[in-house]
Amino acid sequence: MKARDRAILDEKSGDLGSARRRLMSLASSSDYDPRLCEQIARICVKMSDPMEAGRWYFLSDSSDAESPGCIATFLEQFNCTPKQAILQIPSNLRLESVDRYPRVVGERLRAAEFRGVARSPRPDRRSPSETWSQKLRRMGCLLVVAVLVIVVGAIFVGGLAFFAELFERR
User: Do 100 and 153 reside in the same domain of the chain?
Assistant: no
CA distance 43 to 13: 13
Q: What is the mean pLDDT of the chain?
A: 83
Q: What does the chain come to in residues? A: 170
Q: For residue 51, report the phi and psi dihedrals to the nearest 5 degrees.
A: -65, -45
Dist CA 52 CA 153 (whole Å): 51
Q: Would you say residue 122 lies in a domain? A: no
Question: Cα(152)–Cα(133) distance, rounded to whole angstroms?
Answer: 28
Do 10 and 82 fall within a single domain?
yes
Claim to verify: residue 19 and residue 93 sit in the same structural domain: yes
Residues 106, 138 share a domain: no
Residue 72 resides in a domain: yes
Q: Are residues 85 and 134 in the same domain?
A: no
DSSP result, 48-73? T-HHHHHHHHTTS----TTHHHHHHH
Report if residue 138 sits inside a domain: yes
Same domain, 67 and 137: no
Q: Could you give the CA distance from residue 31 to residue 38 in angstroms, rounded to a whole number?
A: 14
Domain of residue 37 covers 3-111
Structurally, the chain folds into a number of domains equal to 2
Residue 41 lies in a domain: yes
Question: How much is the pLDDT for 81?
Answer: 67
pLDDT tens column, 97-131: 888 888 888 888 777 765 544 444 444 444 456 68
Torsion 135-140-142-143 (CA) sign: positive
Task: State mean pLDDT over 50-64.
Answer: 90
Query: Under a CB-based contact definition with an 8 Å cutoff, are residues 54 and 62 in contact?
Result: no
* pLDDT tens digits, one per residue of 6-43: 999 999 999 999 999 999 999 988 888 999 999 999 99
| Whether residue 85 sits in one domain with residue 46 | yes
Asked, for residue 119, whether it belongs to a domain, the answer is: no
Same domain, 89 and 26: yes
Are residue 144 and residue 61 in the same domain, yes or no?
no
Tell me: the pLDDT tens digits for 67-100?
999 988 888 887 756 677 778 888 888 888 888 8
In this structure, is residue 116 part of a structural domain? Answer: no
Instruction: Report the alpha-carbon distance of residue 105 to residue 111 in Å, rounded.
Output: 10
Do 91 and 163 have their domain in common?
no
Last residue of a domain, one of 83, 111, 139: 111
Distance (Å, rounded) from C-alpha 153 to C-alpha 138? 23
